Amino acid sequence: MTFTYAIIRSLRGALTVLVLLTLVFVILRLSGDPLDAMLGDEAEPELVAYYTALYGLDRPIWEQYLRYFGGLMQGDFGFSYRDGRDALEVVLERVPATLQLGLTAIAFGVFLSIPLGILGALYRDSPLDRCTMAFAVFGFSLPNFFLGILLILLFTMTLQILPSSGTGSWKHMVMPVITLGTSSAGSIARFARSSMLEVLPKPYMITAAAKGITRLRRITWHALPNAAIPLVTILGFRIGDIIAGAVVVEAVFAWPGVGRLLVSSVSSRDLAIVQTIVILVTLTMVLTNLLVDLAYGWIDPRLRTERKGK
Amino acid sequence: MSMTAKPRLMSIRMVWVRVPMLVRISVLFVLLMMLTAIFATVFAPYDYAKQNLFLRLEPPFFLGGSMAHPFGTDGLGRDILSRLMMAIRVSIAVALVGTLIGAVLGTIIGFVAAHFRGLVEEVIMALVDAQAALPFLIIVLAVLAFFGNNLWLFIGLMGIYGWETYARLIRGMVLSANTQGYAIAARSLGFSPLRIYRRHVLPNIFNILIVQFSLNFPQTILLEASLSFLGLGIQAPLTSLGEMLGSGRDHLVLAWWVAVIPGIVIFLTTMSISLIGDWLRDILDPTLTNTAN
């Protein structure tokens, strides 16, 4: 198989993580003395000296950099200023809520948008197709925070059937999931449509029709698998949008996830928490993109031989 | 490349009749927004920051309010129409400046990468990958946490947004342009690389830059709006569309219009620019035109 390709691709991913971690370190150091934020301006000199030695802030910058790296490798992400707890622990506590919201939103987006895109392509220029395209433009022009507020106005204020904030039941999930899923659904629908349109006139589709295969089978067995290949990459890109969207959507619906923790940590400048979240998001993104890239080769045999040829 | 010469021969009216209806409406709407942004303080009936606690949460005219405050008043009795005009100015100015900085920065970096190749290119592409690996909203939030919030830093961050798409795009375009006849001809005439890039390569890839700009601009508006909505962007007493929406959220029960009116403006503005951008891409991007024909 394309073992070398997988190795090279993983190394590139690792390099990206390295560059980002270094940037975080540089920004941390540029933003001023970390002890100022922690101890305040009027701290006792002895206390400042103690923490300076403890955190190694009197060491040369390259040694601090190595220590920072070593710390991260051992899972030492620092402490939250607000309650002195381990930053990684505080963040990990919030991950399940965000995963629950994010994964459901992706599923909602995919199940809504891919059929829409396919139908749009099959019945090109029909009213259905126009609706699909209108939905797509709508989906990525309507800001998620505004959609969230409109949903709250409709379902909580007017109809009074859904709670506007918190967690607990499936009812709590409906509005956050719709809000988060709609924006990606728009662009996925558009992409699915153009991907399908590209496949439909291909010679193998004509051959299949000439062989007398039914239309339904032609679409599900011949067109769909081929149209799905480029869709895998777009799903990879969407992960970033889902993460960014979750920050906003969690704020709108008071969802107790990582996004809300990030916003409150930024407001109170709880740097250890912010840094931990940035690192976790980076790892998630790089890993997803790596998996998508490898999956791409696995799904599409043509790419595999192409890469081998190189 | 007759594309650049043709439109100049046509009058504006001849171009206008070829524009689809939806795009025409979008162009008119964006013009209206631009004019509002420019003349915000001239046309505004009140000072956008003037409070009147006796007139809190007045309804807009279409809900039975008076024409003295056509869009009603907010939680501090400030005139929503006046605030909206100011918010449009701030949001559009921040997004425009931000998108311009990103375009210029990314274009220059793309040229540098394509010109020097080797290590310079590798480093630039590693940075491009790094930025693409993180949602930009997260990057902005991290920087705001580290440095605290101020307006200039915020505008600078809007400028950094999107540079990597330009850098990647321009690098590719320049690399392929360099191998084409006109660039080789200019080089063999002994022109300096800077002159070749500025006078020969840049005009040839300008269309693509314009398209990218029109796709990035609404994204920057949305980014500003999201951050201001979260209370981490434009700060009161200054206002922006996102800030208005965010503060209007507290009055949803009593006065939904305080949040919904700026929301509609954001939505219509980003949608109009996206529609114009899509249309521009269809007519300006030569790779797409060829396949369409």
A238-287, pLDDT tens digit by residue? 788 889 999 999 999 999 999 999 999 988 888 888 889 998 998 888 88
d(Cα A289, Cα A287) in Å, to the nearest integer? 5
DSSP count for chain B of H helices, then E strands: 15, 0
State how far residue A128 is from chain B, nearest Cα, in angstroms. 18
CB contact under 8 A, B133 and A282: yes
Q: How confident is the model at residue A34 (pLDDT cuts 50, 70, 90)?
A: low
Q: Is residue A79 part of a domain?
A: no
State how far residue B219 is from chain A, nearest Cα, in angstroms. 9
The gap between the terminal CA atoms of chain A, to the nearest Å, is 13
CB contact under 8 A, A149 and B249: yes
CB contacts of B274 in chain A (<8 Å) are 137, 140-141
Longest CA pairwise span in chain B (Å): 76
Element (DSSP H or E) covering residue B205: helix B202-229
The percent helix, strand, coil of chain B (3-state, each to 5) is 75, 0, 25
0.95 exceeded by pTM: no
Contact B73, B84 (CB under 8 A): no
Q: Which member of A137, A144, A157 has the closest CB to residue B275?
A: A137
- Whether the predicted pLDDT of A205 surpasses 60: yes
Give backbone dihedrals phi and psi of A139, rounded to 5 degrees, phi first.
-60, -45
What is the residue-level pLDDT of chain B in tens, covering all 293 positions?
Answer: 444 545 455 677 777 888 888 899 999 999 999 999 999 888 888 888 888 888 888 888 888 878 888 888 888 889 899 999 999 999 999 999 999 999 999 999 999 999 888 899 988 988 888 888 788 899 899 888 888 888 889 999 998 888 988 999 999 888 888 888 888 888 888 888 888 888 888 888 888 888 889 889 999 999 999 999 998 888 888 899 999 999 898 888 888 999 999 999 999 999 999 889 888 888 876 555 443 32
- Judged by phi (left if over 0) then psi (alpha if -120 to 50, else beta), residue B285 lies in beta
CB contact under 8 A, B232 and A15: no
Residue with token string 């840094």: A275
- Mean per-residue pLDDT for A54-81? 79
Q: What is the per-residue pLDDT for A176?
A: 94
Q: Is residue B109 part of a domain?
A: yes
Dig out the tokens for B288 from the structure: 């797409």
Q: What is the per-residue pLDDT for B58?
A: 83
DSSP class of residue B79 equals B
Q: What is the per-residue pLDDT for A17?
A: 86
Q: For the purposes of burial, counting CB atoms within 10 Å of the CB of B15, is it exposed (0-12), middle (13-18) or buried (19 or more)?
A: exposed
d(Cα A277, Cα B138) in Å, to the nearest integer? 9
CB contact under 8 A, B145 and A157: no
CB contacts of B138 in chain A (<8 Å) are 243-244, 247, 262, 277-278, 281
Q: What is the per-residue pLDDT for A33?
A: 64
Q: What is the per-residue pLDDT for A310?
A: 42
Q: For the purposes of burial, counting CB atoms within 10 Å of the CB of B80, is it exposed (0-12), middle (13-18) or buried (19 or more)?
A: buried
Q: Is residue A158 part of a domain?
A: yes
CA dist list (Å): B68 to A73, B60, B82, B83, B171: 63, 9, 11, 14, 55
More confident residue, A297 or B52: B52
Dig out the tokens for B178 from the structure: 């360099």
Overall number of domains in chain B: 1
Domain residues for the domain of B234 are 84-292
CB contact under 8 A, A240 and B142: no
CB contact under 8 A, A247 and B267: no
Backbone CA torsion sign across A15, A17, A20, A24: negative
Q: How many CB pairs under 8 A join A and B?
A: 129
Residue type, position A236, single letter: G
d(Cα B14, Cα B227) in Å, to the nearest integer? 41
Contact B250, A154 (CB under 8 A): no
State how far residue B191 is from chain A, nearest Cα, in angstroms. 37
Q: Which residue of A has its CA nearest to B268?
A: A141
CB contact under 8 A, B218 and A141: yes
Contact B266, B84 (CB under 8 A): no
d(Cα A185, Cα A134) in Å, to the nearest integer? 12
Q: Is residue B9 part of a domain?
A: no
State how far residue B194 is from chain A, nearest Cα, in angstroms. 30
Which of B230, B260, B275 to substitute to test the interface with A, most A CBs within 10 Å? B230
d(Cα B274, Cα A141) in Å, to the nearest integer? 8
Q: Which member of A23, A247, A274 has the closest CB to residue B145?
A: A274
Q: Which residue of B has its CA nearest to A290?
A: B133
Q: How many residues does chain A have?
A: 310
More confident residue, A282 or A183: A282
Q: Which member of B146, B148, B256 has the closest CB to residue A27?
A: B146
Q: How confident is the model at residue A177 (pLDDT cuts 50, 70, 90)?
A: very high
Domain residues for the domain of A215 are 95-309
A3-27, pLDDT tens digit by residue? 787 888 888 888 888 888 888 888 7
**B253 lies within 8 A of chain A by CB:** yes
Q: Is residue B24 part of a domain?
A: no
d(Cα B29, Cα A255) in Å, to the nearest integer? 36
Q: Is residue A60 part of a domain?
A: no
Q: Is residue A82 part of a domain?
A: no
d(Cα A245, Cα A180) in Å, to the nearest integer? 6
Overall number of domains in chain A: 1
DSSP count for chain A of H helices, then E strands: 14, 0
CB contact under 8 A, A278 and B252: no
CB contacts of B87 in chain A (<8 Å) are none
d(Cα B83, Cα B243) in Å, to the nearest integer? 11
State the Cα angle at A58 between A52 and A62, rounded to 5°.
Answer: 125
**B292 lies within 8 A of chain A by CB:** no
A207-235, pLDDT tens digit by residue? 988 998 888 888 888 888 888 887 877 77
Dig out the tokens for B43 from the structure: 């046309």
Q: Is residue B70 part of a domain?
A: no
State how far residue A141 is from chain B, nearest Cα, in angstroms. 5
Q: Is residue B60 part of a domain?
A: no
The CATH number for B272's domain is: 1.10.3720.10
The CATH number for A130's domain is: 1.10.3720.10
DSSP letter string, B80-97: HHHHHHHHHHHHHHHHHH
Dig out the tokens for A178 from the structure: 């719709």
Q: Is residue B178 part of a domain?
A: yes
Q: What is the per-residue pLDDT for A40?
A: 66
